[in-house]
Amino acid sequence: MKRKITLKDIAKELDVSISTVSKSLKNNPEIGEDTRQKVQAFAKLYNYKPNNIAVSLLNQRTKHIALIIPEITHDFFTTVLKGVEEVAHHKGYNVLVCVSNESFEKEVLSIEMFAQGGIVDGFIISLSKETQLKEDYKHLIEVENQGMPLVMIDRVTDKVISDKVIVDDMRGAYTGVSHFIERGCRRIALITTQDHISVGYLRKEGYKKALADHVLPVEEQLMVAIDQVDTAEDQIADLVNNQEFDAVLGVNEYFSVIAMKLLQEQGKRIPQDVAIIGFSDGKLLKYATPSITAVDQHGDEIGRAAAGMLIERLESSKQDENYRTTVIPTSLIERESTLGKQD
């Protein structure tokens, strides 16, 4: 087991000083050509690489960023992670992942740990449901006070002033509903989350606006707000069994797929009897039978944008107080579940 080689080792071996070695390796012109060559050759031979920890200690930066997501089993967050990782690695940063499991406590603990230990240089976070419910953002504000950059994504809040990257949720829902209407649907149901989930609320607003703009009534009984994951199926069944509608928009993959399954069990044909659209860029919608039209949120782009913003802020010396919000437009991926009425 070879121990890792250090500057000191090289210095001793070549009988020069540590600083000479350091400078040589950095191609510092102070050092004579031949010494430099010699050192570099030796270093290469022994595969020298600077010890990151020492450099971190010196520079007071780790070149690590934390990504905190509420869930990993949503394809959306998975693609976000991929996007973040892509840009981060490209720029020489590493990504520490933390799944909050929708828990406020876990979110707070992770952030404190990462921030206080100086483990990461900055954060990308999507709020847990519990956090959005409690509306307690002290941990985030604290992070900012410590001078650590923070980029919020997707599930964000106005209560925290920071860079943000969000989905155009309202417009995404608006587009979906409009798509239904263009295809002749008139009674459009919505399966969304409780209002405290920011994205759920915005999607509902987009849904309502689309109806209003097309002079269609907003019917309360066609809108269901899912309380908890495990009651989703029952609540959706309730909608399906007791209401008549010819289209349904789900604010995530699960709601849409569950709705479709229940509708099919009832003998409804998709899309002839009921058209379906779901939010998210996941495989659940893509591989469903029939495949389901999706409001693509472009998780990868969100991840890339967030990582880009964060790193830019980390590397810019100026204390820029102009926080930006980048809105990533959604796009509608038309699939089988909305064909046919019209086409």
Residues contributing to the site for DNA (CB under 7 A): 4, 6-8, 15-20, 22-23, 25-26, 30-36, 48-51, 53-55, 57-58, 60
The residue from 20, 24, 85, 294 that contacts its own copies (CB under 8 A) is 85
Nearer to its own copies, 114 or 174 (CB): 114
Q: Which stretch binds its own copies (CB under 8 A): 35-43, 95-103, 176-184, 203-211?
A: 95-103
The residue from 78, 131, 193, 338 that contacts its own copies (CB under 8 A) is 78
Residue type, 321: E
DSSP for residue 276? E
CB of 96 to DNA, least distance (A): 20
Nearer to DNA, 58 or 215 (CB): 58
Q: Which stretch binds its own copies (CB under 8 A): 8-16, 27-35, 171-179, 253-261?
A: 253-261
Half-sphere exposure of 209 (CA within 13 A, CB side): 14
The residue from 221, 289, 316, 325 that contacts its own copies (CB under 8 A) is 289
Please report whether residue 124 would count as binding its own copies according to CB under 8 A. no
What tokens does 82 get?
Answer: 């991929």
* R_g over Cα of the chain: 26
Question: Under a CB-based contact definition with an 8 Å cutoff, are residues 314 and 61 in contact?
Answer: yes
CB of 14 to DNA, least distance (A): 9
Helix (H) and strand (E) counts for the chain?
14, 12
What tokens does 59 get?
Answer: 């520079």
What tokens does 189 get?
Answer: 């149901």
The residue from 29, 33, 34, 73 that contacts its own copies (CB under 8 A) is 73
- CA distance linking residue 331 with residue 281, whole number of Å: 10
Nearer to DNA, 59 or 289 (CB): 59
What tokens does 178 get?
Answer: 């409009």
- DSSP, collapsed to helix, strand or coil, labels residue 95 as strand
Question: Under a CB-based contact definition with an 8 Å cutoff, are residues 83 and 301 in contact?
Answer: yes
Interstrand relation of 94-99 and 64-69 (parallel, antiparallel or unpaired): parallel
Phi, psi of 62 (to 5 degrees): -95, -15
Nearer to its own copies, 151 or 258 (CB): 258
- CA distance linking residue 340 with residue 343, whole number of Å: 5
CB of 56 to its own copies, least distance (A): 5
Q: How many CB atoms lie within 10 A of CB 18?
A: 14
Residue type, 319: Q
Please report whether residue 314 would count as binding its own copies according to CB under 8 A. no
Q: Which stretch binds its own copies (CB under 8 A): 94-102, 133-141, 176-184, 204-212?
A: 94-102
Q: In the range 137-196, which residues lie near its own copies by CB under 8 A?
A: 145-147
Tell me which residues touch its own copies (CB under 8 A): 1-4, 47, 49-54, 56-57, 62, 64, 72-73, 75, 78-79, 81-82, 85, 89, 94-99, 110, 114, 116-119, 145-147, 254, 257-258, 260-261, 264, 283-284, 287-289
